[in-house]
Structure 1
Amino acid sequence: MPVLPGAEPFRHEGGEVGVLLCHGFTGSPQSLRPWADYLAARGYTVSLPLLPGHGTRWEDMAVTGWQDWYAEVDRELRVLRERCARVFVFGLSMGGALALRLAARHGDAVAGLVLVNPANKVHGLSAYALPVARHLVRTTKGLAGDIALEGGHEVGYDRVPLHCAHSLRRFLRIVDTELPQVTQPLLLLHSSQDHVVPPADTARVLSRVSSRDVEEVLLEQSYHVATLDHDAERIFDESHRFLARLASGVAEKGSTSGG
């Protein structure tokens, strides 16, 4: 199935500092592409994969689950580790949960995390009905496009396969149990108004990780997909500052041509 325009994966060969970017549930690399371009222009090696079942049609996603999505970012992390002296993982929404699990399981192989509105739980009473409902109803209303910026657009599905929502719920429960194993430096940016992930998720993540180097930034002008919203440039600049602080002494310069 052809990939939706703008949803293509992205890779850039830069310097010795690598960044893996993880997009969100039912979304695509398009939501993080400006961030990836920003980092590539500053000489970082960047990997922005397309998660299995995403970026085409929801029917393709319906036959995938969290094991498929996590396996993809795990593979990309290993590739970056072979190429770079130091690797950081960034994530939006479910991508934040994927990043947290990578940090918990790979330890020092992940040098630090930058998370934007990370998901920690599937909310609402309907979440408890997912184990049964997924056998009765195939999809529900989509989550993509929670952006305050006028004209802002996210390439994502307008339907959520309930099988995948159930799988996401199971995955987030697993990640929550692993949060105490996260010890890496952490920059967490979250929106004051988010119609997808509530503030309780951010509070939960911050309360359970074991990281000592933690910075929390409130994004007051953006909704959930803040990387495409009013605060996008602030996210990019804060992440670059975070990288520069933690990767000092590691060569960053490299080719600035995209790919």
Structure 2
Amino acid sequence: MKTGVLCIHGFTGGPYEVQPFVDFLHANTDWEFVVPTLPGHGETLSLEKLSAENWMMEAELALRQLQKEVDRVYIIGFSMGGVIALYLANRYKVDKLILLSAAAKYIYPTQLLQDIREIAKEAMSGKLEDNNLYKLYRAKLKATPIHATLEFMRLVRMVEPYYGQIKVPICLVQGKKDGIVPYTTAQFLFDQIGSEKKELIYSEVGKHHICYSDDSEDWYNKAFQFLMEEEVESIGSN
């Protein structure tokens, strides 16, 4: 059986957010990977006239195309991409889901304040321009219209009533130092989702961009084992 993997990035992000995990899986499998850039996203943001439906439809089209080419489909969704993955799994036949820092809830004030304190300290010592966190916040704040943020929030609300209808095997990965999504979100989703087979993996040091966490190799391997169980079961039944 041929396996395809659809990977969906987050709000204001791009394929780079999931690329390290994609590279890991690519090196260990012969699976086919599709990593679309959602409308208005990527290295340069252009989100002014776009809606939640635009982002959902782009992912939906990518999934439909992939389904024509493979026998089995897994979806990996990061942040907002995790919410879109749930939307797709409720509408289409999907074999497994991996949700990374899924944005079912967002903005964790405690960690965000800690990050901002770090920025403030460096500002006082004249190192602000060297702070990658500051550069990230500054660039995104400038390029993200309020309209787009409201559309992101609307997307989350649209999908939330259907969590209990999700039945496919699912693995959630969440960093405990996430400054955007409260790390308790993963447990909330775990409890709400209707799947019988589900796993929850925490990264003790992971921030929001979990694919770049210092302990990423640990959870890469656990998530890979979760996906490979399906492959082994399929081979054993043939």
TM-score relative to the length of structure 1: 0.74
State the Cα distance separating 1:249 from its structure 2 match.
6.0
Cα distance in 2, alignment partners of residues 238 and 20 from structure 1: 19
Deviates more, 1:238-247 or 1:84-93: 238-247
Cα distance in 2, alignment partners of residues 211 and 249 from structure 1: 18
Query: Over residues 47-77 of structure 1, what are the superposed CA-to-partner deviations in whole Å (9 max), with x where a residue is unaligned?
Result: 111110001433x112212111111111111
Q: Any stretches of 5+ residues in structure 1 without a counterpart?
A: 1-14, 126-142, 144-150, 252-259
Find the counterpart in structure 2 of residue 129 from structure 1: none
**Greater helix content:** 2
State the Cα distance separating 1:240 from its structure 2 match.
1.7
Q: How does 1:63-102 map to 2 (within 5 A)?
A: 63-102=49-88
Find the counterpart in structure 2 of residue 57 from structure 1: 44
Determine helix, strand or coil for the equivalent of 2:201: strand
1:177 to 155, 158, 161: 161
Query: Over residues 142-186 of structure 1, what are the superposed CA-to-partner deviations in whole Å (9 max), with x where a residue is unaligned?
Result: x9xxxxxxx988989522221011111111011111111100001
Deviates more, 1:192-201 or 1:228-237: 228-237
Would you say 1:37 and 2:23 are equivalent positions? yes
Letter of the 1:221 counterpart:
V
Cα distance in 1, alignment partners of residues 2 and 182 from structure 2: 36
Relative contact order (alpha carbons < 8 A, sep ≥ 6): 1 or 2 greater?
1
TM-score relative to the length of structure 2: 0.81
Q: How does 1:101-180 map to 2 (within 5 A)?
A: 101-106=87-92, 109-123=93-107, 157-159=139-141, 160-180=144-164
Find the counterpart in structure 1 of residue 118 from structure 2: none
Would you say 1:19 and 2:5 are equivalent positions? yes
Q: Is the 8 A contact 1:17 1:250 kept in 2?
A: no
Find the counterpart in structure 2 of residue 133 from structure 1: none
Q: Is the 8 A contact 2:14 2:43 kept in 1?
A: no
Determine helix, strand or coil for the equivalent of 1:24: coil
Query: Over residues 84-130 of structure 1, what are the superposed CA-to-partner deviations in whole Å (9 max), with x where a residue is unaligned?
Result: 11000011111110111111111xx20011111101135589xxxxx
Aligned residues with identical type, % of pairs: 29
Cα distance in 2, alignment partners of residues 122 and 39 from structure 1: 28
Would you say 1:226 and 2:226 are equivalent positions? no
1:213 to 185, 197, 201: 197
Letter of the 1:38 counterpart:
F
Query: Over residues 16-74 of structure 1, what are the superposed CA-to-partner deviations in whole Å (9 max), with x where a residue is unaligned?
Result: 1111111011011011112112222221110111110001433x112212111111111
C-alpha RMSD of matched pairs (Å)? 2.5
Aligned in 2, Cα 1:155/1:246: closer, same or farther, shift over 3 Å? farther
Letter of the 1:84 counterpart:
V
Query: Over residues 214-250 of structure 1, what are the superposed CA-to-partner deviations in whole Å (9 max), with x where a residue is unaligned?
Result: 1111100211101012122223222221121012266
Determine helix, strand or coil for the equivalent of 1:247: helix
Determine helix, strand or coil for the equivalent of 1:248: helix
Cα distance in 1, alignment partners of residues 106 and 90 from structure 2: 21
| Paired residue total | 210
Would you say 1:193 and 2:187 are equivalent positions? no
